[in-house]
Amino acid sequence: MGCIQTVTGSIAPEALGITYMHEHLLCDQRRCRRDGLRRPGVEGDMMILDDIDVAVREMREIRGLGASALVEVTMQAWGRDVGMLRRISEMTGVKVIATSGFYVEQCHPSFVTELTVDELAHGLVHEITIGVDDTGIRTGLLKSAVSRPVVEGPEEKCARAVARAQLASGASITTHTSGSSRFEIPGGNIGMQLLDIFESEGVDPKRVIVGHVDENVDIRNLVNLCRRGAYVQFDVIGKHHWMLDETRADVVVDMVARGYASHVLLSTDRARRSELKSYGGLGYAYLLTHFVPMLRERRLDERSLHQIMVENPRRALAILPRSPK
C-alpha cells in the first residue's frame, strides 16, 4: 500500500489514525501579491498564522481528542517551513504531512513564470523524493490551486506540473478550488476542470482530492466527482459564511447513504488567527468536538466515520508507485 511521508519520516499507512486533511499551522499571506483595495495599516482577516506556541497548544488539544495526523497545505511562497512543522510534530505527537505544489497565482513564487512545466514538476518531485531545500525533510502530498472560474494561464501551468510530479512521485494531489469564483463555475467548484487536466496528463482521478467542496455544494456534482474516482473533501468545516455546518453534516451523511463513504474526507482549513481557539475562534478541535457529534446525531455509523477519518486518509496519503496502464 506504499508509505506515508510525514515531516518526521515515513510511516506505514496503518500507523495513521484520525487525520485532518487540509490545514495550516504556519502561513503568511502578506508574502503574496494582492490585487484589489487594501486598507492601509490593517491586516484584517488575512491568512496569517505565525505563533508556534499557539500551534503547539492547539495541536496538543486535538491530540488529546484522538487526532493522529494533520496535512499542512501551506505552500513555499507564503510561509511553508518544514523545519518548524517537524518541531511542532515532535513537540505534540501529531504527525504532520507537508505539501509541495502551488497555491493560487497571487501566491506563486516568481520562478513559476521562468521555468517550464517539466522544470516545475522536477522541483516538486525533488521535495517528495529528496527533501525540501537542504533540510532532508520530504513532503508527502502535492497541491494544485485555482482562483479563476476556469483553469488557465499560470494556474494551468502549475496544475500540469503537479500532474507530472504525481506521475513521477506517486504522491496524491490535493486541490484548492476557486472559492471566490465559485458562483461562476457550473457545479460550484473547479474539480471537474482540474480532473480533465490531470487526466489529460495521465493522472488517475483516484489520486486526486477535490478540496473545498463545501464552499458551494451541489451534491449532483459531488457524486459525479466520486464516480470519476476522486475524493471529495469537506474542509472548511465551521466556516458558516460558506455553508451551515448542519447542511455540511446532512450532505456528508447523504453521500454515505449514496455509497460514497470511501470518497469523503474532512478538515477545517484553519488559516487565520481569528479561526483559532487561542484568538477566540473555533480552533482545529471543532471538527472533533462539534462536527463529528453532528454526524453521529444524524446516525452516521461508526464504521463509516472510521472510513472517512482514518481509512480514507490512509489511502489518499499513501505514496504509490505508478500503476501500469
Partner 1 sequence: MRIREPFKNLAEAVPTIRLSEGGVCLLVVDCHHYSLSPNHGYGRVARERGIFRELDEYYEQLEQVTPNLQHLVDSSRARAVSVIFTRLVGSCDVPSSVSPQARATGLWAERSSIDAAFVPELGPQNGELVLDKTTVSAFADTGLGRTLSTLKARSLVISGVLAEGAVALSARDAADLGYNVVVVSDACAGATWTSQSLAMTALVGGLVRIRSTAAVVEMLNGTRT
The answer to whether residue 281 forms part of the interface with partner 1 (CB under 8 A) is no
The answer to whether residue 80 forms part of the interface with partner 1 (CB under 8 A) is no
DSSP structural state of residue 321 = P
Instruction: Name the one range near partner 1 by CB under 8 A: 47-55, 197-205, 212-220, 292-300.
Output: 212-220
Q: Which of 50, 184, 196, 301 binds partner 1 (CB under 8 A)?
A: 184
Which C-beta is closer to partner 1: that of 74 or that of 221?
Answer: 221
DSSP structural state of residue 215 = G
Q: CB of residue 269 vs partner 1: minimum separation in angstroms? A: 14
DSSP states of 74-127 as a string? --GGGT--HHHHHHHHHHH--EEEEEEE---GGG--THHHHS-HHHHHHHHHHH
Q: Which of 86, 108, 138, 148 binds partner 1 (CB under 8 A)?
A: 148
Phi, psi of 11, rounded to the nearest 5 degrees: -135, 160
Residues 6+ apart with CB under 8 A from 323: 204
DSSP states of 227-273 as a string? HTT-EEEE--TT-TTT--HHHHHHHHHHHHHTT-GGGEEE-----SG
- Measured CA distances, 52 to 81, 89, 270 (Å): 11, 11, 14
The answer to whether residue 153 forms part of the interface with partner 1 (CB under 8 A) is yes
Q: Which of 66, 186, 259, 293 binds partner 1 (CB under 8 A)?
A: 186
Q: Which of 27, 217, 317, 319 binds partner 1 (CB under 8 A)?
A: 217
The answer to whether residue 185 forms part of the interface with partner 1 (CB under 8 A) is yes
The answer to whether residue 110 forms part of the interface with partner 1 (CB under 8 A) is no
Which residues ranging from 28 to 67 are in contact with partner 1 (CB under 8 A)? 35-40, 45
Which residues ranging from 225 to 254 are in contact with partner 1 (CB under 8 A)? 240-241, 243-244
Angle between helices 82-92 and 52-64 (to 10 degrees): 40
The answer to whether residue 280 forms part of the interface with partner 1 (CB under 8 A) is no
Site residues, partner 1 (CB under 8 A): 35-40, 45, 148-150, 152-153, 183-188, 216-218, 240-241, 243-244
